[in-house]
Amino acid sequence: GGTTVNFTDGRLWIGMMAAAARVGDLRRHLSCALHSAPLSTTLPEGEGDVRLDAEAAELSGDEFAALLRSIGFDAADFGDSVGFELFPTRVSIVEVAGDEMVLRTWSPGRTVIERRLR
């Protein structure tokens, strides 16, 4: 099964089926990464490849149910689901700009670092 990613009231959180291997992985090691790659095999100009590294904290059943309700779902329909709040530790974006590849990286408390490669 997939992992659902949401932003609610400034909180980044994910939900997944309780039996998913990812749940056990996150319970053992709270670091994770979300990766959103473009569908094409090349990076057309203006379309980036994003990676978000984060620390996860498991949400209580009540917190998770409240977040599900806040986005219009009945928590009862997700009885065997688990939620985690994510706290970003680094965000990286790779984009194509003309004949260059541009890598931008941000971490909390730091400015954006940009590198350009030809």
Q: Where are the beta strands (DSSP E) in the chain?
A: 4-8, 11-17, 31-36, 49-58, 81-97, 100-106, 113-117
pLDDT tops 80 at residue 35: yes
Contact (CB, 8 A) for 63 and 75: no
Q: What is the pLDDT of residues 70-114, one digit of tens each?
A: 988 887 777 788 999 999 999 999 888 888 889 999 999 999 999
| Cα separation, 60 vs 55, whole angstroms | 16
DSSP state of 75: G
Contact (CB, 8 A) for 14 and 86: yes
Q: What is the pLDDT of residues 68-81, one digit of tens each?
A: 989 888 877 777 88
Calculate what percentage of the chain has a pLDDT beyond 90.
54
Give the pair of three-digit tokens for residue 54.
Answer: 């984060």
